[in-house]
Amino acid sequence: MVATSTQTTHHQPGRASLRALDSANFFLADVRDGMGPYLAIYLLTTLHWDAQSIGIAMSVMGVATVVGQTPAGILVDRSVHKRFFSILASLLIAFAALLTIAFPRYGIILGGQALMGLAAAWFTPAVSAITLGIVGPRALDARVGRNETFNHAGNVVAALLAGTIGYYLSSKGIFVLLAVMSVCSSVSIWAIRESDIDHEQARGCLAKAPGDNLDNQQTGWRALFRNRSILLFALACVLFHFANAAMLPLLGQRLARGTDAGTSSAYLSACIIVAQIVMIPVSFWAGRLASKGRKRLLLIGFAVLPVRGLLYTLTGDPVLLVAIQILDGIGAGIFGVVSILVVADLTRGSGLFNTTQGTIATAVGLGASLSNAFAGALLQRTSFHAAFLTLSALAVTAFGVLLCLVPETNPSES
């Protein structure tokens, strides 16, 4: 447990730590998300699983992440060993990726996905905490934008490599790529200097009067989560990710129909590359513009999702379907930056930034994991068009919740 200081520490982080944080975000791009859409193609074209089984397999990682997110957030708030646990989580994901292709049986694949999910639960609060601990709250907006910029750049490179490996070699090689990126992320995290991380600052603490103690503060987390704004924001996140998470795997399966594994991987890589290239400038500018208002940016991100789902039903041209992923880049780029800043706003001074971050991430994981299972079952019984339209309707609901119920959280705007 970290002792509470009586004043906020201000320090200048070393350039080496900032560069290592850039590198860690680059390599964590696919590590923290696993190889979800590629897993769907691997299971469909190589192992010949049906749509419902694929949906279940795609959901296991999300369910495991849901189970692990809140405990991970609490541990991040209380631990001074953030680098060690981050490295351990990366190596566990590498092990699970290699296990998936070494023993491609139903139970082992589901077990590997569960292990990935538990390990991935650590990264959302941990990266945010390390970032806040290094740069402080005043520089957080721009730094989160920079984190996401490097993360999306890493996704572009990973998708290019995955598409090349899947097309020219084997879809199994994509999982080896994930393992390699996991090891590289571990090296990058290790390069961050421990002395550059202010662990009090990392959990959202502000200056405190003498006599305040951590135990009294930590026991107040239940009251914090009774905060109406936090609950409504969590609801909006659940609905958004329930609508969003299954769209790319569904698109991947649609593009895979009638093609071989290599071509399917190439198509899916093109979808990811288009979205991630768009996310790079969107994330950068979201970090720059967030100080002028969080909600207006989030509304843009939420609004493009139902449009994207509708457009998927209007064409079967692979080129146009890939081009529609520009909208995914806009929505995900904004959400990845602004959602972290909203949580920082709602927990400022509480010392529970990462606990709340983990709980919000649980809501996100819940929406995402249920989305894949729901969409797989729906596709099994209806069609791609019906599945995309249903997800679009849910996206409209998410937009309505954000517009009507979630307040602006930026102190300068509220």
Average pLDDT over residues 124-142: 85
| 413 in a structural domain | no
| 411 in a structural domain | no
Does the structure show a pLDDT above 60 at 7?
no
Q: Do residues 22 and 148 make contact, with C-beta atoms less than 8 angstroms apart?
A: no
| 8 in a structural domain | no
What is the DSSP secondary structure assignment for residue 198, as one 8-state letter? Answer: -
pLDDT confidence tier of residue 153, bands split at 50, 70 and 90: confident
| 219 in a structural domain | no
- What is the domain range of residue 23? 15-204+225-405
| 10 in a structural domain | no
CA dist 168 and 248 (Å) reads 23
pLDDT digits (tens, 9 = 90+) for 227-261: 788 889 989 999 998 999 888 888 887 877 766 66
| 362 in a structural domain | yes
More confident residue, 225 or 78: 78
CA dist 354 and 357 (Å) reads 5
Q: Please calculate the CA angle 316-56-314 and round it to the nearest 5 degrees.
A: 15
pLDDT digits (tens, 9 = 90+) for 100-117: 888 878 888 888 888 888
Q: Can you give the pLDDT at residue 148?
A: 86
Among 48, 46, 200, smallest CA distance to 133 is for 200
Average pLDDT over residues 90-108: 86
| 1 in a structural domain | no
Give 3-state DSSP helix, strand, coil % of the chain, rounded to 5. Answer: 80, 0, 20
| 161 in a structural domain | yes
CATH code of the domain covering residue 57:
1.20.1250.20
**Count of domains forming the chain:** 1
pTM of the predicted structure, to 2 decimals: 0.73
